[in-house]
Structure 1
Amino acid sequence: MTAELVRGQNHPLSQARLEIRVSAGKPVVAGATLSDEHGKVQGVEWVAHPGSPTLPGIEVSKQAAADHRLACDLDALPETVHRVSVLLALPTGVGGPVRFGAVAAPFVAVTGLDGSEVASYTVTGLDAESAVVALELYRRQGAWKVRAVGQGYAGGLAELLTDQGLPQARQLAGSINEAVVQGLARSVAAPPPRAADGDRSRHAATPALGQDQGGSTSPGAPGQVSPQHGHPGGQGPIASGAGPGAPQAAYPTASAPADPSAVTHPAGAGGPVNYSHPGRQAAAPPPPPPTAPPARPGQPAQPVAGDATGWSMEERLYNQVWGMFEDLARSTAAYRSAVDFAESRMEQELDKALSDPRARIGGQGDAAREAARAKHAELVDRAREALDRDLAQLTAEAEVVEPALPPAFARWDNPAWHGYRVPMEIPMAVRLGDLHLPESAGLSIPMLVRLPLERGLWIDSGRTGSFEGSIADSDDLRRLAMDTAVAHAARLLAVYPAGEYTVHVIDAAGSAASSLAPLVSTGVLAAPPAVGAAGVNEVLARLTQRVDLVQMAIRGGAADSLPSDLDPAEQLLIVNDFPHGFDDRAVTQLRYLADEGPAVGVHLMLVADREDAAAYGPLLDPLWRSLLRLTPVPDDHLADPWVGHTWTYDPSRVPPGSQVLQHVLTQVATARRSWNR
């Protein structure tokens, strides 16, 4: 029976190998400290954190996430360790909440390897604190217990670690935050939370939830699955309970603003700068969402494109894609957890069988080993069956959703581009590629990024850790990287209304002429690509001045006083072969644009090899961390914000020999000329 602890309460632990699961709703840092019988942490080597996630007997997550699973083996801890403290902290310097009082109360559960919950604790009563000791596992008279602590610290991790007697607390807290920021720079950002009534509902049917799947609690309760997120009949990746350890926290998906065409920026007393087209009308009320055809008895309901909740078909498709992404992440997490449990159980049974010398000599030991392996195979097969069932349903849904996507969400080979016309409204998001997991190589989920872009893009032109990146020629990689950048720029130009997106290019060495040909020949660029040091400085000075002017107008409440020749459109700067042609001043200006530009409509797209910039040392590290890294070849470098899976990113490529890019850019150029008249 599960013990629901309150602050200060303890509970005995009968198992040595445990999992500690954290559900926070927002990305948090999870760590652990080991301390002696006096409660003192002896040194930094006694702290498990994202930068150093593994210690004897304890392993924590490598990055900030909303859902964590910490592994603990009490028997493997050193004899001098008498206490394991589980720490939670809000990441700093990444734009998220800075105090626990502004987020949902974290939920922490101690479970066995079979997923059975031993004790749980909801960390309530926090306000200004940004770090907290959630619970502790402690040794008392040869036995281990768990205690709910809930001790918060307004001074963050530095204050918490200092309180535990660590001399290097401040330095370690800084290195932990550095590791977390680097991890977040590699992650796929979660969509912003939707309104309270915007929970994603795939179908009209309510999933049949078991006792451990949230059926007796309200949706969104800590540690429970929200019924709105499952598939009908309990057959979806969440409701199926594919194996022990399935993540059970509910996370919201995204919603669009009522008028996505109104691009506003942070404002002072004078209000926002509104870039919406003056001639547009308000959107009409949405049509009712489509309904699925009735399912045959015993069969899951047929998938329908746009069956998620939303104000418009575009929003419903957006929410449906994100729901598929979440479902695949959690279904795979359940499968991996079930496989881990099966392997752990087999190891325990084999150890038990071999612990008796008599069993090792006779045939009894061989029979025990065979039985353990057979049980392992049975558990893995059952987990794979559940995963395959979920993948089959998600694949069927993807086959329905993909053809229905609008151009902003569609692949370049989608027929939606054949009848492309320049839109009158800014879409919610844009597709920058696809994502898949090793267990589901045949199923890809569109990678949709909200507009306007909140982070710049870094297209990696160097060798990556992937197989494709390691075998490709370096010159081919550079060409592919620039081709990828041009394809992304063309898509951004295509999804914005006429005159509301402007692209600038810096090609200091003039080495990207062939890749840039579609942009240059159609005339969609604001000016010819800038070359040489003089061209670099001129473009950077112009965009830096634009950022300064808009910022001053906003802060001074004088948005109407901007110069008449200032282009109010969103600006994109593509830099090829960075940092070639950049001196220290130009690098500083680029960092300024990366930090301050997105808030006032100036965005970066760097095509660069990180190794080429090594001469600048740590000067460029903040710039790299502020950008979303994409690759011109498939690469597994992105992580999701829920369970931290490593996803393989597939770039969005134009089919060989296709004229779709030329067709789309010609339409954009024609619409721009008409708009300028």
Structure 2
Amino acid sequence: MTAELTRGQNHPLPRARLEIRVSAGTPIVAGATLGDENGKVHGVEWVAHPGTPALPGLEVSRQAAADHRLAVDLDAVPDAVHRVSVLLALPAGGQGPGRFGAVAAPFVAVTGLDGDEVASYTITGLEAESAVVALELYRRQGAWKVRAVGQGYAGGIAELLTDQDLPQAHQLAQNIQEAVAGGLARSVPAPPARTVDGNRPRQAATPAHGPDHGAAAPQGSTGPVSPASPYDTRSGSDPQPPEAPGQHGTQQPCPAGPGDSTSAGQSSAPTGGGPIDYSHPRRQNAAPPPPPPTARPAGPGQPARPVAGDATGWSMEERLYNQVWGMFEDLARTTAAYRSAVDFADSRMEKELDQVLSDPRSRIGGQGEAAREAARTRHAQLVSQAREVLDRDVAQLAAEAEVVEPALPAAFARWDNPVWHGYRVPMEIPMALRLGDLHLPEADRVSIPLLVRLPLERGLWIDSGRSASLDGSFADSHEMRRLGLEAAVAHAARLLAVYPAGEFTVHVIDPAGSGSQALAPLVRTGVLAAPPALGAAGTADVLARLTQRVDLVQMALRGGAPDALPPGLDTSQQLLIVNDFPHGFDDRAVNQLRYLADEGPAVGVHLMMVADREESAGYGPLLDPLWRALLRLTPVADDHLADPWVGHAWTYEPSLVPPGSQVLQHVLTQVAAARRPWDR
């Protein structure tokens, strides 16, 4: 159970390998310091920040972003370290609001690698402060604990580091801000060069969490994206991303060694430990290498024809999942390299033009114009070279997508994939589920599936708020509510379709009955546990039954007696679709929804909200934990998801049934027929 900490409270840490997830409503800088038993930071090599992101057992983000995921392995932290302090700061130099009092309260959570929260803390009460010590992980009698600190500093990072007795505090603070302002963290290398046969470098390592372990998304899972997403922007902070879809929305980082040592006479960097192990938690041995490609290049120097399933994994499903993840990573990194190259070309041209203008001699004759023309020519050459590399990589990824898409199993496939026409109810749960597609503007012909791991680690929020569509037009509120519920029905149908018969149950709350038309496929085929609940009484009944189920399962698990559950209790995975929130909900119902969002996923109860955040603003901060617990999706294309490396704003397109298609009716009919014996 998650511990919601207040300032000064502490909580034991049950494991050594952790993530620290940060969510804010504006880009912030995240860092960490290593301190001795007195809290003293002995040198700049004891500080992890965007310019030097990795220390033994610790890695922080390389850029300013609205969401962060920090990787921690306490077993790899040197023995001399007794405290790990998590630092948050607003960028200096007019790049942001300048003080935490002008933005939403930052939220920090300590989670396991599986996304389960251990402790969380919302940092309230900040005003003029521009830097804050959010959390502190500390040793106590051989065990590690986390403490909510929330100590703010109006003097920024320099004052914070000075308070931790760092001698070079002001110089390091300047270096951190320069790294952020100069875009050091955004200069991401291009993907590793393909091997001789044109494939990604193959490793026999265990597969990492997919893009859904974001979020983010950009934070965030996002996979591909989850929660834990990669790549999503949590609680609608646009963007994460999720979970990098975000995390909100992501493949987990793997820290390298300590930074460079400082001058003589200063303490050396902490030593010992090693990289954090982010291997699959259910895999004890390395995954087998991928099968050799079945197609070869036509000639020397020609790229290999892509092969579906050409990745590590124990099964074709896992190999395809990891291949999709590799495509997502390749596209993110090659686009980042292109953008970085263009930024460099722009800054170089500006510098050269400034030099021309500042030299009085260039104003005589045609020397100035010639120098300006030369600067523009060099700029065009650099941009052209970067574009050629990007086009080459995008062409290779597009060819790979053309091969991979038809080979995807139903759980990973679009609704228009022929695999759905031969659909049969599966015998086991797949690894992941497709919830849409991701694009980048520089490579709009490449579509990356947004995959989230199963069982769901967090609920879904289908945002029915007013939003612009791809063509720039705006849908009114009624249209967006209809589209939102149709998207929710499509997602729910996918979840029903990928679970074995009787192992997934869907409930619907529609207080005003406004969603009857969109809900018709679920109602007509009989896949719902009961007709949609109407009115306040129906809403209260469904929420009471689901919260009671969560309580009973939690008590049984804590007591070590899962067989002691009451007879007849439905132990299948449960999904509650809530339409038209907050209409028809009182404070008690809202608190029950919060409880289901926080505690439900761990015991198989999941929430899918179809709601407009602005219409729910009347509840104030009461709903913030609810939105933060959900992965935000939209019924129309939107760029709210982000990847976990460089924070690209990915365009998300929902997975919807093509107009006029009968595939949804076919799938739900099969599901209903398979579950009838279980309903008797």
Which amino acid in the other structure matches residue 308 of structure 1? A
Task: Tell me if 1:187 matches 2:219.
Answer: yes
- Secondary structure of the residue aligned to 1:575 is strand
Q: 1:275: which partner in 2?
A: none
- Closer, same or farther in 2 for the Cα pair 1:223/1:390, shift >3 Å? farther
- Corresponding residue to 1:464 among 457, 463, 467: 467
Task: Tell me if 1:574 matches 2:577.
Answer: yes
CA contact (8 A) 2:289 2:312 kept: no
CA contact (8 A) 2:224 2:451 kept: no
Inter-partner Cα distance in structure 2 for 1:644 and 1:476: 31
CA contact (8 A) 2:597 2:607 kept: yes
Task: Tell me if 1:93 matches 2:124.
Answer: no
Q: 1:643: which partner in 2?
A: 646
Which amino acid in the other structure matches residue 329 of structure 2? E
- Corresponding residue to 1:294 among 292, 296, 306: 296
Inter-partner Cα distance in structure 1 for 2:88 and 2:462: 26
CA contact (8 A) 1:406 1:416 kept: yes
- Closer, same or farther in 2 for the Cα pair 1:518/1:26, shift >3 Å? farther
Task: Tell me if 1:364 matches 2:356.
Answer: no
Inter-partner Cα distance in structure 2 for 1:156 and 1:617: 23
- Closer, same or farther in 2 for the Cα pair 1:594/1:490, shift >3 Å? same
Deviation string for 1:261-303 (max 9, x for gaps)?
Answer: xxxxxxxxxxxxxxxxxxxxxxxx9997352422221111111
CA contact (8 A) 1:292 1:302 kept: no
- Corresponding residue to 2:380 among 377, 381, 396: 377
- Secondary structure of the residue aligned to 1:643 is coil
Instruction: Choose 1 or 2 for highest CA Rg.
Output: 1
- Corresponding residue to 1:55 among 75, 90, 93: 93
- Closer, same or farther in 2 for the Cα pair 1:26/1:486, shift >3 Å? farther
Inter-partner Cα distance in structure 2 for 1:495 and 1:359: 70
Inter-partner Cα distance in structure 2 for 1:371 and 1:223: 43
Q: 1:562: which partner in 2?
A: 565
- Secondary structure of the residue aligned to 1:649 is strand
Task: Tell me if 1:20 matches 2:51.
Answer: yes
- Corresponding residue to 2:590 among 584, 587, 590: 587
- Corresponding residue to 1:432 among 432, 435, 438: 435
Q: 2:13: which partner in 1?
A: none
Inter-partner Cα distance in structure 1 for 2:625 and 2:420: 37
Inter-partner Cα distance in structure 2 for 1:515 and 1:562: 35
Inter-partner Cα distance in structure 1 for 2:444 and 2:224: 27
Displacement of 1:222 after TM fit?
A: 3.1
Inter-partner Cα distance in structure 1 for 2:289 and 2:348: 52
- Secondary structure of the residue aligned to 2:616 is helix
Deviation string for 1:140-180 (max 9, x for gaps)?
Answer: xxxxxxxxxxxxx986875695995469999xxxxxxxxxx
CA contact (8 A) 1:185 1:627 kept: no
Q: 1:137: which partner in 2?
A: none
Q: 1:508: which partner in 2?
A: 511
The TM-score normalised by the length of structure 1 is: 0.65
Between the two proteins, the alignment pairs up a number of residues equal to 487
Displacement of 1:473 after TM fit?
A: 2.5
Inter-partner Cα distance in structure 1 for 2:475 and 2:563: 52
Displacement of 1:318 after TM fit?
A: 0.4
- Closer, same or farther in 2 for the Cα pair 1:491/1:580, shift >3 Å? same
Inter-partner Cα distance in structure 2 for 1:539 and 1:670: 24
Inter-partner Cα distance in structure 2 for 1:501 and 1:186: 30
- Closer, same or farther in 2 for the Cα pair 1:463/1:571, shift >3 Å? same
CA contact (8 A) 1:28 1:91 kept: no
Inter-partner Cα distance in structure 1 for 2:352 and 2:290: 56
Inter-partner Cα distance in structure 2 for 1:499 and 1:470: 42
Inter-partner Cα distance in structure 2 for 1:154 and 1:561: 34
Displacement of 1:186 after TM fit?
A: 7.0
Displacement of 1:251 after TM fit?
A: 11
Displacement of 1:21 after TM fit?
A: 6.2
Which amino acid in the other structure matches residue 51 of structure 2? I
Which amino acid in the other structure matches residue 525 of structure 1? L
Displacement of 1:471 after TM fit?
A: 1.5
- Corresponding residue to 2:390 among 378, 387, 393: 387
Inter-partner Cα distance in structure 2 for 1:326 and 1:94: 25
- Closer, same or farther in 2 for the Cα pair 1:21/1:330, shift >3 Å? farther
Which amino acid in the other structure matches residue 95 of structure 1? T
Deviation string for 1:622-656 (max 9, x for gaps)?
Answer: 11111111000000011111111111100111001
Q: 1:205: which partner in 2?
A: none
- Closer, same or farther in 2 for the Cα pair 1:361/1:287, shift >3 Å? closer
- Corresponding residue to 1:421 among 415, 424, 441: 424
- Corresponding residue to 1:322 among 318, 325, 338: 325
Does 1 or 2 have the higher relative contact order (CA < 8 Å, sep 6+)?
2
Inter-partner Cα distance in structure 2 for 1:657 and 1:385: 41
Unaligned runs of 5+ in 2: 1-40, 66-86, 100-105, 115-135, 140-144, 165-213, 226-252, 259-274
Q: 1:631: which partner in 2?
A: 634
Displacement of 1:674 after TM fit?
A: 3.5
Displacement of 1:441 after TM fit?
A: 1.2
Inter-partner Cα distance in structure 2 for 1:440 and 1:423: 35
- Closer, same or farther in 2 for the Cα pair 1:183/1:305, shift >3 Å? closer
- Secondary structure of the residue aligned to 2:457 is coil
- Closer, same or farther in 2 for the Cα pair 1:338/1:160, shift >3 Å? same
Task: Tell me if 1:668 matches 2:677.
Answer: no
Q: 1:222: which partner in 2?
A: 256
- Closer, same or farther in 2 for the Cα pair 1:576/1:50, shift >3 Å? farther
Task: Tell me if 1:351 matches 2:358.
Answer: no
Deviation string for 1:45-94 (max 9, x for gaps)?
Answer: xxxx97743425x88999xxxxxxxxxxxxxxxxxxxxxxxxxxx98315
- Larger displacement relative to structure 2 (462-471 or 335-344): 462-471
- Secondary structure of the residue aligned to 1:424 is coil
Which amino acid in the other structure matches residue 93 of structure 2? L
Inter-partner Cα distance in structure 1 for 2:276 and 2:331: 14
Q: How does 1:163-182 map to 2 (within 5 A)?
A: 165=159
CA contact (8 A) 2:215 2:223 kept: no
Which amino acid in the other structure matches residue 460 of structure 2? L
Inter-partner Cα distance in structure 2 for 1:156 and 1:354: 53
Inter-partner Cα distance in structure 2 for 1:609 and 1:128: 37
Which amino acid in the other structure matches residue 493 of structure 1? L
- Closer, same or farther in 2 for the Cα pair 1:509/1:155, shift >3 Å? closer
Identity %: 68
Inter-partner Cα distance in structure 2 for 1:638 and 1:441: 16
Q: 1:540: which partner in 2?
A: 543
Which amino acid in the other structure matches residue 256 of structure 2? P
Which amino acid in the other structure matches residue 360 of structure 1? R
Q: 1:268: which partner in 2?
A: none
Which amino acid in the other structure matches residue 291 of structure 1? P
Deviation string for 1:561-594 (max 9, x for gaps)?
Answer: 0011110100000000011110000000110000
Q: 2:28: which partner in 1?
A: none
The TM-score normalised by the length of structure 2 is: 0.65
- Closer, same or farther in 2 for the Cα pair 1:221/1:30, shift >3 Å? closer
Q: How does 1:122-161 map to 2 (within 5 A)?
A: 128=137, 158=150
Displacement of 1:474 after TM fit?
A: 2.0
Which amino acid in the other structure matches residue 222 of structure 1? A
Unaligned runs of 5+ in 1: 1-5, 11-18, 33-48, 63-89, 99-126, 131-152, 171-181, 194-218, 225-249, 260-284
CA contact (8 A) 1:186 1:629 kept: no
- Closer, same or farther in 2 for the Cα pair 1:535/1:642, shift >3 Å? same
Inter-partner Cα distance in structure 2 for 1:453 and 1:350: 54
Which amino acid in the other structure matches residue 293 of structure 1? A
Q: 1:478: which partner in 2?
A: 481
- Corresponding residue to 2:444 among 441, 446, 468: 441
Inter-partner Cα distance in structure 2 for 1:168 and 1:251: 29
Inter-partner Cα distance in structure 2 for 1:167 and 1:341: 31
